[in-house]
Chains A and B, each alone.
Chain A
Amino acid sequence: EAQVTQNPRYLITVTGKKLTVTCSQNMNHEYMSWYRQDPGLGLRQIYYSMNVEVTDKGDVPEGYKVSRKEKRNFPLILESPSPNQTSLYFCASGPGQGVFTGELFFGEGSRLTVL
């Protein structure tokens, strides 16, 4: 089954404790991206990656890091989480490299709470 898998789905942590949210897709997609969703603000893009070893900042990259060492994985790293990073996070993937369909496939979301 084609899917985007995020882990963990729920996490409560404390300020300053490094954490990683993993994202994996099994569709051989070049493009992957992270979004955060907050009430009243819609979905805002954090980082995106056009292919392996290629990453770019989205609209709200401050406080986050990403890496793209393999095509299927795109982890989101919070080196020193703060309460304003409490949010619902979504990972998405899509075909790229000349195959533009506009269709992104989203994971089920990771709800993060930073105390």
Chain B
Amino acid sequence: LAKTTQPISMDSYEGQEVNITCSHNNIATNDYITWYQQFPSQGPRFIIQGYKTKVTNEVASLFIPADRKSSTLSLPRVSLSDTAVYYCLVGGPYASGNTPLVFGKGTRLSVIA
């Protein structure tokens, strides 16, 4: 299984862009990179997923360099409601029999007014 390493915590002011980087040096060829958000006492919620280059949706962007050994989740103009724990996961397709996504300890983002 590809192990991921993220910062334990980050602080940001409201309105700033936040970039959370995740290292996954042992990522396998068929692994995807997925990010989740978790609020206290709630289950994690899917944010974004990518395989290579850049992916953007309505809430975030995901940047993946060519070697895929790291990835960066970018949250534009954060607000207080973005205060949460963010998890980076790598994993392969379920159908191939690969062990599905494994969560790490996550990055605790605190947004300050």
Contacts and interface: CB of A to CB of B under 8 A. Distances in A.
Interface of A: 4, 30-31, 33, 35, 40-45, 48, 50, 56, 59, 88, 90, 92, 94-109
A10 B32 CA distance: 34
B13 interface: no
10 contacts: A42-B103, A59-B102, A100-B32, A104-B36, A104-B101, A106-B42, A106-B43, A106-B45, A108-B43, A109-B42
B73 to A, nearest CB: 14
Contacts of A4: 43
Given A42-B87, A97-B95, A102 B46 contact: yes
Interface residues of B, number: 26
Interface in B44-93: 44-46, 49, 87, 89, 91-93
Which of A42, A90, A98, A109 counts the most B-chain CB atoms under 10 A from its CB? A42
